[in-house]
Chain A
Amino acid sequence: MMFTPENLERARAIVARYPRAKSAILPLAHLAQDQDGWLSPEAMREIAALTRVEPAEVLGTCSFYTMFKRDPVGRLVVSVCTNVTCLVTGGPEVLEHLARRYDDDDVYVEEVECLAACGGAPAMQVNYEFHEGLTPEMAEEIVEAYKRGELIPRGVSGGRVS
């Protein structure tokens, strides 16, 4: 995939903000992932050209960061926290329930580290939107609401996609 003309313009503006173009790798990877639903090899090549580095450097950088999905993950990324506050308030049960319930191409369920929502533990994010104070049933209901279109998801990198 290539950036759409509109996103290409945004990408160039992002690169121009930094004293060095290579700094734009992360923001451009987010932009590409929101556009395509994952970070493809083609996108990384285009990012390399825009930031004036080798494609291997873009891969080298992006493969360090867990938010970048280098395989298609579907429309919804559901990130469930199981770190200690969530551990003692029911996070693992939410994770187990969702992982069993959603084994499909549309919903990607992952276990993540502390999301900084411990005041409302257990917590999860759907495409980086916070949902707190969960039970397994509530968590499923929230995912269903996204699937039915009652909740509008962000892009899979957390950006607004028009």
Chain B
Amino acid sequence: MTVTETRVITKRIHDRPEDSWTIDGALASGAYEGLRAAFAMGRDAIGEEQVKASGLRGRGGAGFPTATKWSFLPAGSYPRYLVVNADEGEPSTFKDRMLIERDPHQLIEGIAIAAFAIECNLAFVYIRGEFALGYERLEQAVAEAKAKGFLGMNILGSGFDLDIVVHRGAGAYICGEETALLESLEGERGMPRIRPPFPAIEGLYAKPTVVNNVETISTLPHIVRMGGEEYAKLGVDRSTGTRVFSLSGHVKRPGNYEVELGVTFRDLLYSPELGGGITDDRKVKFFIPGGASSQWLTGADEHLDAPLDMDFLEQNLGVMLGSGAVMVFDETVNPALVAWRLAKFFADESCGKCTPCREGTGWVEKVLYRIAHGQGRPQDFDMLLDVCDNISPGVTTAPFAQTTICPLGPSVVSPVASLQKYFRDEVLAMCTGPSTIPVSAS
């Protein structure tokens, strides 16, 4: 079966490759019509009716229902803030960068709709520091939107005021975690906060705050324009709508593809207009379905034929759709090497606040290093599992079980749990040391 894209939030990008990010290009392709519709239907109809009916769930990783998140804001408590999470740092995720660089007006329109719905007059976009072009385009777009009256005072005569501050991060993956992001936005080191209180109650400057991902917010103009029920007809069960999947690694056509939820991994990897098959027509050895924090799947039919459905994957295969990044590795790849590099990532990016993560990620990285480089000792694998059990008790449930404040530490356990599930024999065969690479040396 071949599947093609269902372009909702990537439509303008494809229709107008020459000017999708400019105000003229955006206005010529329907920008800000959703905002007009939102003002026409009134504040209460947006969250409680349209977004709720759409079934929209967060695209940042956790898949939390957006309307429910908004409903947690305490009544009568102001000011409220909307913070857009544009820190995109989950390895192999590159959809938000595209949405920002190529369609900043769609994002601004979504921000205006969300801010109107939750009664917020000052919104922030926390954009990853390395996204210099994205920052520039977004700043430019904010200025254009202000000049046209889509931002500022009394927007389109609605009586609603909104300003947007675009705030650059400075190189820290952890700042994608929403409470670390808020710390960072307050000028602090980006270290996660203990929850509760949740940001909806005490977020930015201890005020009620909604944090939503770029893709989540970019979807709002379409939900308002189409109607929530109509949007919910796309997708499958509780995974409604479309998502943009960042497909990378050993596929013929890596890139971002917007598809209806419910299509299978095989569709995504092999359809001629999507992944186009595996490089040099080799076989899939394994793939990581939802960003580096997710557990892995293999080239087995039951995995390739699994649907891109958040609940199905979590309940049946113990993996998450996460940030929508799908990394594909062919038969030539040493899975221990990939696990090591992911562990190195989490060790590099640990903020150091929680001991199991600060210490554990480093040890996991060191042990995996020598295993991946043919220097493992026979007892290494079990030692690895033991260390992991202290970060994510039960190991195989990582990253959902944790001894830490945030899931960064437990995410290092996902690759190890995946090795244990699918490649234990292959990894043990690499562990015939005595090792000449001690793990105690730096």
On whether the beta carbons of B171 and A65 are closer than 8 Å, the reply is: yes
Does B327 interact with chain A (Cβ within 8 Å)?
yes
Give B167-210 interface residues, CB cut-off 8 Å to A: 167-173, 184-190, 205
Count of inter-chain pairs, beta carbons less than 8 A: 148
On whether the beta carbons of A154 and B132 are closer than 8 Å, the reply is: yes
Alpha-carbon separation in the docked complex, A79 to B128 (Å): 15
Contacts of A67 in B (CB 8 A): 129-130, 170-171
Contacts of A89 in B (CB 8 A): 249
Contacts of A29 in B (CB 8 A): 170
Name the segment of A2-10, A15-23, A95-103, A136-144 touching the other chain: A15-23
Q: What is the interface size of chain A, counting residues whose CB is below 8 A from a CB of the partner?
A: 49
Residue with the greatest number of chain B CB neighbours at <10 A, chosen from A25, A84, A114: A84
Contacts of A119 in B (CB 8 A): 94, 246-248, 254-256
Does B429 interact with chain A (Cβ within 8 Å)?
no
Residue with the greatest number of chain B CB neighbours at <10 A, chosen from A20, A25, A26: A26
Contacts of A25 in B (CB 8 A): 187
On whether the beta carbons of B248 and A118 are closer than 8 Å, the reply is: yes
Which chain B residue shows the least CB distance to A79? B130
Give B335-350 interface residues, CB cut-off 8 Å to A: 337-338, 341-342, 345, 348-349
Does A55 interact with chain B (Cβ within 8 Å)?
no
On whether the beta carbons of A83 and B170 are closer than 8 Å, the reply is: no
On whether the beta carbons of B91 and A84 are closer than 8 Å, the reply is: yes
Contact A64/B92 with A84-B327, A85-B249, A88-B249 known, Cβ cut-off 8 Å: no
Alpha-carbon separation in the docked complex, A19 to B80 (Å): 12
Which chain B residue shows the least CB distance to A19? B205
Give A104-158 interface residues, CB cut-off 8 Å to B: 113-121, 125, 127-130, 154, 158
Alpha-carbon separation in the docked complex, A20 to B185 (Å): 10
How would residues 52 to 86 of chain A score, 1 for a CB under 8 Å from any chain B CB and 0 otherwise?
A: 01000100111011111000000000010011110
Does B165 interact with chain A (Cβ within 8 Å)?
yes
On whether the beta carbons of B337 and A87 are closer than 8 Å, the reply is: yes
B residues with CB within 8 A of A = 88-94, 96-97, 122, 128-133, 135-136, 165, 167-173, 184-190, 205, 246-250, 254-256, 288, 292, 325, 327, 329, 333, 337-338, 341-342, 345, 348-349, 351
A residues with CB within 8 A of B = 17-20, 22-27, 29-30, 51, 53, 57, 60-62, 64-68, 79, 82-85, 87-89, 113-121, 125, 127-130, 154, 158-160
Known: A85-B91, A85-B249. 13 other contacts (CB 8 A): A22-B187, A61-B189, A65-B169, A65-B171, A83-B91, A113-B349, A114-B91, A116-B131, A118-B91, A118-B92, A121-B249, A129-B132, A154-B132
